[in-house]
Structures are given as structure tokens and as C-alpha cells.
Amino acid sequence: MEKMNENETKDVAVQVRDYQTELEQIMRSNVSPRVLKDRISDYHENDIASSFEVLTRDERERLYRILDAEQLSDIFEYLDNAEIYFEELNARKKVEVLSCMEVDQAAALLKRLAKPERNMLIDLIDNESKRDIAMLESFDEDEIGSRMSMNFIEIKAGISIREAMRELIDQAAENDNISTLYVTDDNHTFCGAIDLKDLIIAREGSKLDDIITESYPYVYAREMIEDCIERMKDYSEDSIPVLDENNKIIGVITSQDIIQVVDDEMGDDYAKLAGLASEEELNEPIRQSVHKRLPWLIILLGLGLVVSSVVGLFEGVVAQLTIVICFQSLILDMAGNVGTQSLAVTIRVLMDENLDGKQKLGLVFKEARVGMCNGMILGILSFICIGAYVVFAKGMTPFFGFSVSACIGAALLLAMIISSISGTVIPIMFKKFGVDPAVASGPLITTVNDLVAVVSYYGLTWIFLIEMLHLAD
């Protein structure tokens, strides 16, 4: 039985195809354009898009001439850097491809082109596409309306099942998102949605109203992405309608769009945790990258100077007990790590807009307790390990060595508790004042916690080791 399973596994491994290599060989074969088109059409657009990297420009241009605009538009939607390959098309082909693309994809591609070329292409595309692109561009990039698609089926309320089927067939030629049909009244006001399956199995004599889901989820185009992203994730729908201020459906957010939105939001939050205004791209100009990073670095420089000034206040402590300088980085690093962990947990929890004040206070106390428990464990380990190190490696007396390690352990405990609290309280306060809690970035928390750690460490050293135990050199 085991041998059979092994053979089956090997067979599966053998069956994995290298589509990129296959397409490369097809493109370099000496066959007629018709045969070439038929062979390429057997592959998925994503696989064709992935082969662009290994094809030469001449081979890609040959492909552009063979495939029609609709096929190319599907391929370009899968390209990560579509604008690079888009520039290889002639002007007529560019217009045709843009006209065939999903409006949101076309708008995103146009944004990445040079302004003169973008304006020229917009003037040349058909009026319907031009109008839809203009609508998308009217929304701020942080509004959900900027991510919507116009690819959906709209059915009028009050019609029969047969008429609804006819409407579906008529519109399916232009729109392929047909799993959910959206019902509107005579004023295009959103009334609800119909699942395609329910429409197919409905009896001809049934009323359309009987299969309409009136409680179907929706979002408004002007809603901020971060405000409605959790609501969209809660529903396992193929698409969610986007309404204007008059409750008229103007587009949809598909499940693919939701995945992309979530991915982008996570990327932006990660960037903010690193002290950046937004995500950086591989091909982003140096000037733009500097512009994103510099503001936070200036702020952190000011905070760093404050930390350095505070350290300067304890010059006398370091002068009297030089060994303590060896363990400064340990205290600072652990405090920063704990604060960053609390920050990450807090930002994740704050994504729930329904949290009340009591729950937020509970989060602060929880993180403080976690910091205290971790601090006690690490403090005890530090007491044992550092004490032994000072005694055996530095040749100090056991009293001296374990007094120093006890001070370090206590400072570590105190710094970790305070850092856990600051990593929780700061983003909560930011949220309360209407600021994105992710702006309470990792570098900011780390710098604040450095200040806490320095004061805790050297303060306890001065009080405990110098003033009480008189262990000064």
C-alpha cells in the first residue's frame, strides 16, 4: 500500500507541466499564424502572461499581431507590470485592448502611463469606456468606488421569470459576472439580488419577487476602504454591489477585488509599521522613495535626540559602574520587541469597529499582564545567566555579579510591562482621534520604548546598585 502511494505521488509530480517552456517552444516554432493562434488559445491567460518574461520583444510583438484585442486584454489583466508590455503595442492595438479590458483594470493601467499618452488614449477609446473610466477616476484611491467593476447583470423588478432569463442572456454577452443578478426598480434603486441557480430552477409561473434576496449586502462608493473591508470579508459572496448616494447601483466589488483590496491594505499597514507613508514598489524612483521615508525619519531623529539626552543624564551612573553599559542593548532591544508585538496585536484587534471602551481597556490590561508574565520569565533567566556570566567571565564576586543581574532582571521586567502598555495605548489613542492606528509605526514605538528602557535601566541602577548597595567602581 505504501509503495502504491509512493508511485501515485511520483505520477502526480511527473504530471506537473511547465507551461512557460511549452509556450516558449510554441512561439519559436515555424508554423502559420492560424495554427499558432489555435495552439496558444489552448492555454490559460495567466500562463500566457507568465511566459512574457522569457519571450523576446520580437516574439511578443508577433504574439500581439496574432491574438485579437479581447484575448490580449485578458492576458494584460494578469501581468504584474502591464504598462511595460503595453508600450510595445501600436496605438490602434492599445485603444482596442483598453476598450476590451475591464474598466477598473483599464483605469489602473492608464494611471501608470505617461500623462500625454494617457490623455491621447482616453480621447480615442469608445464613449462608454471613457465615461466609466471617468467615473472610477472621480473617486479617491482610498474610497471603495475606485476599486469597483462595471461588469454585472442588472434586472428590473416586477418582470417575469422568463423575461429575467431573457435579460440575463442579452447582458451575458457583455458581462461575464453572471452568478449573481442585481435587481433595481424603475429609478435604478437597488432592491436586492438573485442567485443564478435560483433563477434557473424557478418555475415559469413563479414571481420574481419570491427569489430576490432583499437583505443582500452592499457598500457605498464613497465609503473608505478601511471602513468597509471587514464587512465585505464577512460575506462569502461572489460580488457585492456598490451604490451611489442615491442608492443606485453603479458597480460591483468582486471576490477577486476583495482579495486584492485586503492584500493592498495589509501591504499599506506593513509599510506604516515600517514608518512609510505607503508601500514602495520595485521600480519606484529614488526621489519618491526618499519622499515617503524622510518625514518619519525626521520625527524619529528628534525622538532619538531626546533619548540620547536622557542617556546623557546618566553619565555619572555609567562612570561609576561601567559594566552596566554592556547590557544596555539587551534592555532596549527587548523593550522594543515587546512594544512592537503589542502594537501588531492592537492594530489587528482595532480593525473591529464594534469595540467599546470596556473592551479596549481590557486589551490594555491583558497586554500589560502578558508583558509582566514574559518579563518575569525573562527577568529570572537574565538574573541567573547574567549573574553567572559576570561572576565566571568577568571574575567578579557572586554578590556583585548577582546584584547586577538582579538589577537587569528588574529593569527588564519594568521595561517590558511599560512597553506592552505603550504599544497598546498609543494606537488606541490614535484611533480615538481619527488617525490610522498603523501610523503608530514600529519605529515610533521602538523609539518611545527606548526612552522607557533607558530611564528604567539606569534609574534602577542608580537607586539599587549605587545608592543602596554602594557597588560603584
- CA angle in degrees (0–180, nearest 5) for 57-60-65: 125
Q: Is 261 domain-assigned?
A: yes
Over residues 400-446, the pLDDT tens digits come to 999 999 999 999 999 999 989 988 888 888 777 776 666 555 667 77
| CA dihedral for 428, 430, 436, 441, sign (positive or negative) | negative
pTM: 0.56
293 and 384, same domain (yes or no): yes
Q: Does residue 442 sit in the same domain as residue 344?
A: yes
308 & 256 share domain: no
Q: Residue 69 belongs to a domain with what CATH number?
A: 1.25.60.10
Is 456 found in the same domain as 331?
A: yes
Q: Give the residue from 271, 302, 336 where a domain finishes.
A: 271
24 — phi, psi (to 5°)? -60, -45
pLDDT digits (tens, 9 = 90+) for 313-352: 888 888 888 888 888 888 888 888 888 888 778 877 776 6
4 within a domain of the structure (yes/no)? no
Q: What amino acid occupies position 157?
A: A
Tens digit of each residue's pLDDT (9 = 90 or more) over 358-378 = 888 888 899 999 999 999 999
Q: What is the pLDDT of residues 52-70, one digit of tens each?
A: 888 888 888 888 998 888 8
Q: What is the pLDDT of residue 447?
A: 79
Do 351 and 216 lie in a common domain? no
Of the candidates 354, 364, 355, 462, the residue with the CA atom closest to the CA atom of residue 422: 364
Buried b (16+ CB within 10 A) or exposed e, 402-426: bbbbbbbbbbbbbbbbbbbbbbbbb
Residue 1 CB-density burial (10 A; 0-12 exposed, 13-18 middle, 19+ buried): exposed
Confidence of residue 271 (pLDDT cuts 50, 70, 90): low
Domain of residue 131, residue span: 18-147
Q: What pLDDT digit, counting tens, does each position of 227-245 carry?
A: 777 777 777 777 889 999 9
Q: 59: closest CA among 7, 20, 97?
A: 20
Q: Indicate whether 160 and 130 sit together in one domain.
A: no
Contacting residues for 363 by C-beta, under 8 A, at least 6 apart: 346, 349, 424, 428
Q: CATH number of the domain that 194 lies in?
A: 3.10.580.10
| Residues 6 or more apart whose Cβ sits within 8 Å of residue 3 | none
